[in-house]
Structure 1
Amino acid sequence: MKILIARMNHETNTFSPVETPLAAFGRYGPSYARAAFEENKGMQTAMAAFIDAAERAHAEIVTPISAMANPSGPVDAAAYDAICDAIVTAATGCDAALLDLHGAMVAENSTDGEGDLLARVRALLPHAPIAVALDLHGNVTQKMIDNADVIVSFKTYPHVDMYETGAHAARLLFDMIEGRAQPMIAWRQPPLLTHTLRSASADGAMKRALDAARAAEADGMLAVSVLAGFSLADIPAPCISVVVVSNGERAAAEAVAERIARQIWDERDDFVYRSAPLAESVARAASLARGADKPVLLLDHGDNCMSGGTCDTMDLLEEALKQGLEGIVSGPLCDPQAVAALAAANVGSTVTLAIGNKLTNDALPARSPLAMSGVVRALTDGEYVISGPTYTGQRAYMGRAAVLDTGTVKLVVTERTHEPWDLGVFESVGIDPRRARFLLLKSRMYCRPVFMPIAAALVECDSRGVTSSDYALFSFEHVKRPVYPLDPHTEWATTN
């Protein structure tokens, strides 16, 4: 048995000015063939679980590509074609396919990156089983449903069940191959744009929806997924979805999908996040720091790397300085020009330079960089190994990294946008984040399992970046209306 196994992951923020060429996928581009296999084997990805399952089945494994890029703007047409072509070319002659996809990819030449890829694979393999693992923030489309036999998504955010999701999808694929299951898919998609900060799996309406999904699986469904969607994509339906896989019982799958979707719709307001003004958030952080013996976290979710943020907006740092906060550790801030200037000055030099606020587009109006003076404390290659729990053991690449110390702020500046996955973001450049009074991180969720244990408190801060929770900042031209909460009186009375 010959099995196609591949990875194509990108969450596209169509409002982001951060470009997504082929080189953005991986360190300098995707991994191919044996390198793609080795990049995932032993890791905590869905593709790693696919490989393990295929090896247990003594299958011939074909791994044409592993391509994962941080969220950013639409994928370059040439990059999208290159990744898809590698997968489709390798599909010829395969008996089954296991695909590790995100579910929210938009390319310059495709508003439905995963659906268009799956349609091409299905055309080549009309009778072969196809199983897909998706991110919890995938935007499900009819084309995805029509061209996959099995769809399973993560049930955690922050995502710590990527491997488990891949193992689940692979198990159903092999059950299908060996005649133990006849997967049938049903789905529902209420007209609801969720906020990412309301898709955390540990509490609220999202937890209740995921609990209902798990209960339905315990009651006989092969897989039940709740996908919060990724709403910062100007496509027809960047909305929440429920996808149910039953064992030959379409009516049962439809009933479960309808029931959970109705539960979500009835609680729709709990999927909406309403931000406090930035000045108010910073003032609250200052209050929480009084008497604390640990840092206070200020999470700049309006410029969040893992939602397509530029990682160069200075709103939060400027407000913190305006309010007199001291003992600040901040970063990673993406500014390749600043890194070059700091590298040219060398460690120990005192420099004055303009930092941040350099990437703009229609959704992110021009603002002046912040003039900062300080001492260059460190210059590194920006590489470290993630300790977990997300992407445990993988090597992280920030591009070259530098530290500017103003006396009030230790600022980590990098060449690439980078999520603070790990204490290694700071420790790799000689900073102990535990000794900070305030930690300013450009993050929503992924930093929390690592940084919350060392923090006294956490404050969510909404800067005016391209990942802001204020949808009024964005011009949605292609989203099908009405949709909640853009249209408060939206009704949903029909099934898919």
Structure 2
Amino acid sequence: MKALIARLNHETNTFSPVPTPLEAFAPTYGEQAWQANKGMRTAMAAFIDLAEQWGASLVTPVSAMANPSGPVDAGAYAQLTQRIVDAAPGCDAILLDLHGAMVAEGSDDGEGDLLARLRAAAPGVPLAVALDLHGNITEKMVRNADVMVGFKTYPHVDMYETGEHAGRLLGQMLRGEARFQVCWRQLPLMSHTLRSTTLEGAMRDAVDAARALEAGGLPAATVFAGFSLADIAAPCVSVVATCRAEALESAQAAVDALAQQIWQRRSGYVYRSEPLADSLRRAAGLARGATRPVLLLDHGDNCMSGGTCDTMDVLQAALAQGLSGIAVGPVCDPQAVAQLIAAGEGAQVEIALGNKVALQRIGLHKQPLVLRGTVGAVSDGSYTVTGPIYTGQRCHMGRSVRLDTDAAQIVVTEQTHEPWDLGVFHCVGLDPTQARFVLLKSRMYCRPVFVPLSAGLVECDSPGVTTSDYGRFPFEHVRRPVYPLDAL
């Protein structure tokens, strides 16, 4: 038996000015693609483990993952997808680790178009897909997959388990034990990312209901929150099930019922931001008498949703309110990094920091924040994640510098980077647990590590391309009416 296994992940924010060329994916091919995933916690790793247990011959044409950013370059999309399509003929099984919210230049449905091409290249070959919880599901995706399973956690800690689930069902097909079909229901509901956490609220309850359906015999059920920062027809919530072909009618009824439950609680998927000044006043109150730092999460500029990682609104407002003892990081500003390194450790500097990437799609052009301080430390910006997300992975932020000012110590990097771990600060000699405030450009992924070390958490919505304020986005292609853009 010959199994095609590939990974191609990108969550596209169509409003983001951050480009997505081929090199953003850091693709690996063939044997290197296998090595990049074997022993890791990706869905592709689970596919590899299962296929090896089956005794299959593995074909791994590509493994590629880029951080969320703007639409994928047409050439990059063509090259990466063509490698997968070209590998399909002659294979007996296809297992794909995809995201589900990819938009490329020339394709609003990156995954759907890929799956349709694979069906044409390998008709009748069983095909399983593992997807991110934030996938924007389409009819083309559903029609061209035999098995579809998505993450059930956000923060995402079940990537491997999702791949194992999808692969296990495909294994049943290969052994002739079952024929599967995918059914779904999409809602006119654009959820906010901060209301898609599975730790609480309406989303947690919906995911629990999906788990109950599986416990009751449905092979797979997933609630996809969608990714609303994509100006496509339906960046919306969907309920998807993989069912036995002979039980399609009852499975569709279960999917419809769960979708109706979600719709009845649609307000629970909407995040209402408070004014930034109010958030910072609340943070100052939490810090009084605290022995641990207060987290300030700048979710308006989160690189894992396509943010530039260089907007300075939250730091500027915090300084204006007199907050001090702030550990900040990382701020992406390659120009500032070069200037600070040229000045040298210990040098007194005046620097224009951040706000250098124009946010043209949302009509914002900001001025850098001028700061005076000392170059505290310089490093290569590398660290190893201690967990629980991407445990053991080696991360690289590019050359990184610690800038020490009277009120803040700032980690400035050459590359955008999600603060997965304390290593973001440790690599430049900074212990964030000793700060009064820790300002992170993050929504959710930082929480498993940083929340247990903090005295409290305050979400700060700044005017960036990942803000929760939908009013800042000039949606042109979204199918209307849709909640909460419209009163439904």
TM band (smaller chain): over 0.9
Which residue, out of 259, 262, 265, partners 1:264?
262
Q: How far 1:483 moved relative to its partner?
A: 0.3
Partner in structure 1 of residue 177 of structure 2: 180
Partner in structure 2 of residue 494 of structure 1: none
Q: Percent identity, aligned pairs only?
A: 65
Partner in structure 2 of residue 62 of structure 1: 59
Alpha carbons 1:377, 1:403 under 8 Å: kept: yes
Deviation track 1:34-87 (CA, whole Å, cap 9, x = no partner) reads 111111110110000000000100100111111101101111111111110111
Distance 1:162 1:229 in 2: 17
- Residue identity opposite 1:433 in structure 2: P
* 1:157 has 2:154 as partner: yes
Q: How far 1:407 moved relative to its partner?
A: 2.5
Partner in structure 1 of residue 341 of structure 2: 343
Q: How far 1:398 moved relative to its partner?
A: 1.0
Partner in structure 2 of residue 116 of structure 1: 113
TM-score for both structures, normalised by structure 1: 0.97
Stretch moving more, 423-432 or 158-167: 423-432
Q: How far 1:103 moved relative to its partner?
A: 0.2
Partner in structure 1 of residue 14 of structure 2: 14
- Residue identity opposite 1:456 in structure 2: A
Alpha carbons 1:105, 1:113 under 8 Å: kept: yes
Partner in structure 2 of residue 47 of structure 1: 44
* 1:317 has 2:315 as partner: yes
Partner in structure 2 of residue 389 of structure 1: 388
* 1:211 has 2:217 as partner: no
Partner in structure 1 of residue 100 of structure 2: 103
Distance 1:424 1:354 in 2: 25
Where structure 2 has 5 or more consecutive residues not aligned to the other structure, the ranges are none
Alpha carbons 2:50, 2:164 under 8 Å: kept: yes
Distance 2:346 2:57 in 1: 55
Partner in structure 2 of residue 493 of structure 1: none
Distance 1:223 1:364 in 2: 42
TM-score for both structures, normalised by structure 2: 0.99
The 3-state SS of whatever aligns with 2:483 is: coil
* 1:279 has 2:281 as partner: no
Alpha carbons 1:375, 1:404 under 8 Å: kept: yes
* 1:418-433 → structure 2 map (5 Å cutoff): 418-433=417-432
Which residue, out of 105, 117, 142, partners 1:145?
142
Alpha carbons 1:364, 1:465 under 8 Å: kept: no
Partner in structure 2 of residue 478 of structure 1: 477
Which residue, out of 226, 230, 245, partners 2:227?
230
- Residue identity opposite 1:427 in structure 2: H
Alpha carbons 2:100, 2:135 under 8 Å: kept: yes
Which residue, out of 223, 241, 244, partners 1:244?
241
Distance 2:363 2:70 in 1: 13
Distance 2:140 2:381 in 1: 40
Q: How far 1:391 moved relative to its partner?
A: 1.0
Q: How far 1:185 moved relative to its partner?
A: 1.3
- Residue identity opposite 1:326 in structure 2: S
The 3-state SS of whatever aligns with 2:250 is: helix
Alpha carbons 1:364, 1:466 under 8 Å: kept: no
Q: How far 1:362 moved relative to its partner?
A: 2.7
Deviation track 1:352-374 (CA, whole Å, cap 9, x = no partner) reads 11011111113151011000111
Number of equivalent positions: 486
Distance 1:45 1:364 in 2: 37
Deviation track 1:384-410 (CA, whole Å, cap 9, x = no partner) reads 111111111111121111111112111
Q: How far 1:424 moved relative to its partner?
A: 0.7
Which residue, out of 302, 305, 308, partners 1:307?
305
Alpha carbons 1:103, 1:114 under 8 Å: kept: yes
Distance 1:161 1:270 in 2: 23
Distance 1:354 1:59 in 2: 56
Structure 1 stretches of 4+ with a deviation exceeding 4 A read none
Q: How far 1:163 moved relative to its partner?
A: 0.3
- Residue identity opposite 1:15 in structure 2: F
Alpha carbons 1:386, 1:395 under 8 Å: kept: yes
Alpha carbons 1:292, 1:456 under 8 Å: kept: yes
- Residue identity opposite 2:162 in structure 1: T
Distance 2:129 2:86 in 1: 18
Deviation track 1:208-250 (CA, whole Å, cap 9, x = no partner) reads 1101100000111000000000000000000000001112210
* 1:405 has 2:388 as partner: no
Alpha carbons 2:382, 2:396 under 8 Å: kept: yes
Distance 1:63 1:296 in 2: 44
* 1:413-492 → structure 2 map (5 Å cutoff): 413-488=412-487, 490=488
Stretch moving more, 32-41 or 97-106: 32-41
* 1:128-139 → structure 2 map (5 Å cutoff): 128-139=125-136
Alpha carbons 2:3, 2:51 under 8 Å: kept: yes
Partner in structure 1 of residue 76 of structure 2: 79
The 3-state SS of whatever aligns with 2:361 is: coil
- Residue identity opposite 1:471 in structure 2: Y
Alpha carbons 2:135, 2:224 under 8 Å: kept: yes
Distance 2:399 2:363 in 1: 25
- Residue identity opposite 2:167 in structure 1: A
Alpha carbons 1:246, 1:252 under 8 Å: kept: no
Distance 1:454 1:227 in 2: 30
Q: How far 1:256 moved relative to its partner?
A: 1.1
The 3-state SS of whatever aligns with 2:476 is: coil
The 3-state SS of whatever aligns with 1:31 is: coil
Distance 1:106 1:223 in 2: 26
Alpha carbons 1:185, 1:253 under 8 Å: kept: no
- Residue identity opposite 2:419 in structure 1: P
- Residue identity opposite 2:52 in structure 1: E
The 3-state SS of whatever aligns with 1:32 is: coil
Alpha carbons 2:148, 2:166 under 8 Å: kept: yes
Alpha carbons 2:16, 2:361 under 8 Å: kept: no
Stretch moving more, 8-17 or 243-252: 243-252
The 3-state SS of whatever aligns with 2:297 is: strand
How well do the aligned residues superpose, as a CA RMSD in angstroms?
Answer: 0.8
The 3-state SS of whatever aligns with 2:362 is: coil
